[in-house]
């Protein structure tokens, strides 16, 4: 399992945007790596040593150096990697990914606690979404469902982190109650910082290139909620934008709600996968004690 995940990592990095030495065994050409010594909650992305070795500038914009032979300023070989790193850090900050799940990649999965479940099957589809996305944006999204603690949020955030790291794609994580319905409700409150910004919030969620909607289905108790969710899903469907949803309930739970409109859209835009596993967090605790 460990070698399987490492092989996936290498394959994804070979398929990604390259800014470093293509022969580098540390970054596989990416030019950007994770710093395992960063403090909790801080971004741990940094330039690979292969980029540092090719640096001829002082490391500051506009990333140029003086060439005495030609008596002129030239672009530093590290410029593209430095710009990519700045973009990664910006996209990560804007993503909304919870601190607990920042920098979690496919190789972050605890290989000792996923054996015997359908985790390999799930990982294979997560891997396919990440690898195929740049060349085929018509790829299906994912609807990951299962009981609490089976790793749904972890897997969805892994997708976001990999999309930022490998391709510098804008992504967003949104918890259904807090980041979608809660914020939109607050736009009707004159005392809220979001007052009057309902349309802006809805448009941001509808237009972000990749969106994770976490805990989808925990609230579907009113026509207003159902209309908000349908409008969001429908807009993303029409724009062919990648959407990942996590839920405790199967997709069928939407069949009899709003005349099946949400269910119909979900069936067309997502591959439904049941995480049939023991509580991931519980198993992790067992592996520690």
Residue range 213-243, pLDDT digits in tens? 999 876 666 788 888 888 999 999 999 999 9
Indicate whether 11 belongs to any domain: no
Indicate whether 113 belongs to any domain: yes
Q: Are 225 and 231 in contact (CB under 8 A)?
A: no
What is the average pLDDT across 151-159? 94
Residues 266 and 147 in one domain: yes
Q: Give the N- to C-terminal CA distance of the chain in Å, as an integer.
A: 22
Looking up tokens 């990697």 gives: 81
Residues 108 and 90 in one domain: no
Indicate whether 3 belongs to any domain: no
- Confidence class for position 125, pLDDT limits 50, 70, 90: very high
Residues 41 and 129 in one domain: no
Indicate whether 204 belongs to any domain: yes
Residues 128 and 235 in one domain: yes
The domain boundary residue, chosen from 94, 125, 153:
94
Q: How far apart are CA 107 and CA 110, in angstroms?
A: 8
What is the average pLDDT across 23-32? 94
Residues 87 and 208 in one domain: no
- What's the pLDDT score for residue 161? 96
Structural domain boundaries, residue 38: 17-94
* pLDDT of 133 higher than 70: yes
Q: What is the domain count for the chain?
A: 2
CATH code, domain carrying 159: 3.40.50.300
Looking up tokens 């001829």 gives: 56
Indicate whether 172 belongs to any domain: yes
Q: Are 184 and 155 in contact (CB under 8 A)?
A: no
Record the tokens describing residue 165, joined without a space.
Answer: 């790291």
Indicate whether 267 belongs to any domain: yes
Residues 76 and 217 in one domain: no
- What's the pLDDT score for residue 289? 40
Strand-pair category, 45-47 with 32-34: antiparallel
Q: How far apart are CA 65 and CA 101, in angstroms?
A: 38
Residues in the chain: 289
Residues 269 and 136 in one domain: yes
The domain boundary residue, chosen from 63, 94, 125:
94
List, for residues 1-15, the tens digit of each pLDDT value.
Answer: 667 888 898 899 988
User: Quick one: 217 exposed, middle or buried, by C-beta within 10 A (0-12, 13-18, 19+)?
Assistant: buried
Q: Are 63 and 82 in contact (CB under 8 A)?
A: yes
Residues 56 and 105 in one domain: no
Record the tokens describing residue 285, joined without a space.
Answer: 């605790």
The domain boundary residue, chosen from 42, 60, 94:
94
Give the helix ranges, DSSP H, for the chain: 2-14, 49-54, 79-94, 119-132, 152-167, 183-186, 198-207, 223-238, 261-269, 280-288
Indicate whether 89 belongs to any domain: yes
Residues 178 and 70 in one domain: no
Looking up tokens 């580098």 gives: 24
Q: CB neighbours (10 Å) of residue 286?
A: 11
Residues 134 and 219 in one domain: yes
Indicate whether 273 belongs to any domain: yes
């Amino acid at each position: 399992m460990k070698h399987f995940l490492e092989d996936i990592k290498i394959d994804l990095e070979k398929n990604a945007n390259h800014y470093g030495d293509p022969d580098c065994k540390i970054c596989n050409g990416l030019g950007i790596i994770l710093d395992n010594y960063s403090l909790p909650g801080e971004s741990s992305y940094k330039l690979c040593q292969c980029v540092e070795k090719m640096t001829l500038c002082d490391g500051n914009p506009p990333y140029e150096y003086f060439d005495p032979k030609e008596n002129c300023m030239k672009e530093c070989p590290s410029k593209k990697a430095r710009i990519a790193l700045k973009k990664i850090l910006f996209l990560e900050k804007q993503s909304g990914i919870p601190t607990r799940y920042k920098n979690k990649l496919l190789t972050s999965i605890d290989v000792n606690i996923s054996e015997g479940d359908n985790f390999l099957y799930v990982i294979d589809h997560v891997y396919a979404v990440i690898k195929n996305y740049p060349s085929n944006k018509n790829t299906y999204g994912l609807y990951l469902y299962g009981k609490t603690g089976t790793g749904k949020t972890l897997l969805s955030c892994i997708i976001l982190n990999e999309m930022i790291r490998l391709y510098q794609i804008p992504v967003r994580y949104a918890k259904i109650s807090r980041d979608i319905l809660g914020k939109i409700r607050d736009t009707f409150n004159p005392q809220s910082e979001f007052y009057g910004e309902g349309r802006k919030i809805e448009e941001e969620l509808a237009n972000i290139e990749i969106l994770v909607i976490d805990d989808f289905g925990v609230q579907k108790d009113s026509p207003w909620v159902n209309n908000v969710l349908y409008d969001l899903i429908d807009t993303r469907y029409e724009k062919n934008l990648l959407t990942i949803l996590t839920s405790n309930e199967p997709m069928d739970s939407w069949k009899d709600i709003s005349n099946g409109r949400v269910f119909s859209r979900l069936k067309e835009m997502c591959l439904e996968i049941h995480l049939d596993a023991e509580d991931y967090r519980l198993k992790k605790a067992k592996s520690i004690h």
